[in-house]
Structure 1
Amino acid sequence: MTTPGRWVRPWSFAAGLVVPLAALAAWQVATGAGWFTASQLPPPAAVLAAVGELIRRGELWQHVAISGQRVLLGFAGGASAGLVLGALVGLYAPVRTLLAPSIAALRAVPSLAWVPLLVLWLGIAEGPKIVLVAAELIASSMGLGFLLIDSQNTGRTDILLLSILLLALLGKAADMLLGLAVRAAPFDPR
């Protein structure tokens, strides 16, 4: 027997598709009605064609794989540091008193604000791309961040939108996998 809310019900999955499908329909209507030029907002079919183009050129999976690798390495490092720091702050009142205000202040800083500093400290190699994934947008020759910026520079709005959609899909897939892992755990973390 499962506890209420422990497993996703099929209707909730279907309900979660309503907004993306409505957005897709609105996108198609907006481009079909000519409200936007193809350079401003290409139709969904053009973005789908861009998928095929990148697959034929053998680039799509390379970009996805390198971004995935960076995210996994960054997550592993961040989760490890967060676990240790969280345990110290949670278990020891003097550490909490000392660090909690500073941690709260640092959390308020937008993630993108750290990119210039990370690039300054770590250079433009893989380091900053793994520590704040947004740095993948700077001086990168592979990955979805590179694909995003390169498509902006070359005027390929279809590939730019594809990059954004891939980032959203990969983020949602990672979120779902983490949720499955939590639900499969022998304990209830709530």
Structure 2
Amino acid sequence: MSALEIERAVAGRTPVAPARASRRFGLAGWLLPIALAALWEMLVRAGIANGRLMPPPSVVGKTLWSLAASGELLTHANATLWRVAAGFGLGAGAGTLLGALTGALPVARGLLDPTLQALRSIPSIAWVPLFILWFGIFEASKVALIAVGVFFPVYLGVAAAIQDIDRKIIEVGRVFRLGRLAMIRRVMLPAILPAWFTALRSGLGLGFMFVVAAEIMGASEGLGYLLVDGQQLGRPDSIIAAIISFAVLGKLADGLLLAITRPFLAWQDLGRDKL
């Protein structure tokens, strides 16, 4: 088949709408966890498996319902979301500014990047005692720890995106005699947006990971506190309920960020949308 015949065949085919295909595969993604949960429930009910340390879904569901009915789950979820939002805002803002600075200016890259790369290798838990000494055990130390976790993936993503801009794109802008501000707005910014938004999503995911460490170090509310409380009381159902709540909140937050950023990438014509 010639290239012209292939193009005609592709042009004549009615593609599946990307949004419809995305919804279809999104629903299919629930099949595996539902099947595994149903299997574990049957094994426990049949007496084949012991549900003491790993409670069946029915027990976890009752715990979640009890926490939701009492308002305790909402209180913990709100506390966690507030900390993640504050830490994400601070970390993403600082990461974007420093990433743009080191990505665009070789002098700033030589001065700042080696130190930031060294700090990036420090485990998150190592910051806990220092932040407690600096900010106390209240909200400031928790938000600071989350901001550190968000900062580094955003910083790396922005810096790398700027350094990886194709030189040919810059040359096209110069051919059209674009000024510095026009070059940034019409050429450089669209070129780095996809990588920047991906870095923001990575930072948000790490923000939910760091909030667990933040809430373990002395919180009186939050889903991390619910984890510790379940461990101290020997209640695995409460621990799993907190883990599920983390997963749901993280997925919803990621979906919200994706929905906010998607309109800015509407200009992209990607091959995956045509498959």
TM-score relative to the length of structure 2: 0.61
Q: Which among 65, 85, 99 is matched to residue 98 of structure 2?
A: 85
Cα distance in 2 for partners of 1:136, 1:188 equals 41
Letter in 2 for 1:36: N
Alpha-carbon offset, residue 186 of structure 1: 5.7
Aligned to 1:145: 224
Cα distance in 1 for partners of 2:95, 2:17 equals 27
Cα distance in 2 for partners of 1:22, 1:105 equals 44
Alpha-carbon offset, residue 176 of structure 1: 1.1
Which structure 2 residues correspond to residues 92-103 of structure 1 after superposition, within 5 A?
Answer: 92-103=105-116
- Taking a change above 3 Å as real, the CA distance of residues 131 and 50 of structure 1, as seen in their structure-2 partners, is same
Q: Which among 120, 127, 131 is matched to residue 118 of structure 1?
A: 131
Aligned to 2:86: 73
Alpha-carbon offset, residue 79 of structure 1: 1.0
Letter in 2 for 1:136: E
Q: Give 3-state SS (helix, strand or coil) of 1:172's partner.
A: helix
Cα distance in 2 for partners of 1:30, 1:118 equals 46
Q: Which among 55, 64, 67 is matched to residue 68 of structure 2?
A: 55
Cα distance in 2 for partners of 1:128, 1:45 equals 37
Contact 1:119 1:135 in 2 (8 A): no
Q: Quick check: 157-166 or 18-27, which moved more?
A: 18-27
Contact 1:62 1:143 in 2 (8 A): yes
Contact 1:70 1:130 in 2 (8 A): yes
Per-residue CA distance 1:97-152 (angstroms, 9 max, x = gap): 22223323333333333223322322211112222222111211111111110111
Does 2:49 correspond to 1:35? yes
Larger Rg: 2
The structure with the largest helix share of the pair is 2
Cα distance in 2 for partners of 1:102, 1:29 equals 54
- Taking a change above 3 Å as real, the CA distance of residues 94 and 170 of structure 1, as seen in their structure-2 partners, is same
Cα distance in 2 for partners of 1:19, 1:99 equals 45
Per-residue CA distance 1:20-69 (angstroms, 9 max, x = gap): 2233234324533442342x111111111111211232211111111111
- Taking a change above 3 Å as real, the CA distance of residues 48 and 145 of structure 1, as seen in their structure-2 partners, is same
Letter in 1 for 2:244: L
Q: CA RMSD in A?
A: 2.5
Letter in 1 for 2:235: R
Which structure 2 residues correspond to residues 148-163 of structure 1 after superposition, within 5 A?
Answer: 148-163=227-242
Does 2:178 correspond to 1:164? no
Cα distance in 1 for partners of 2:118, 2:44 equals 43
How many pairs does the alignment contain?
A: 186
Contact 2:226 2:242 in 1 (8 A): yes
- Taking a change above 3 Å as real, the CA distance of residues 5 and 97 of structure 1, as seen in their structure-2 partners, is farther
Letter in 2 for 1:73: A
- Taking a change above 3 Å as real, the CA distance of residues 88 and 160 of structure 1, as seen in their structure-2 partners, is same
Alpha-carbon offset, residue 170 of structure 1: 0.7
Work out the percentage of aligned pairs sharing the same amino acid: 40
Q: Give 3-state SS (helix, strand or coil) of 2:254's partner.
A: helix
- Taking a change above 3 Å as real, the CA distance of residues 119 and 34 of structure 1, as seen in their structure-2 partners, is farther
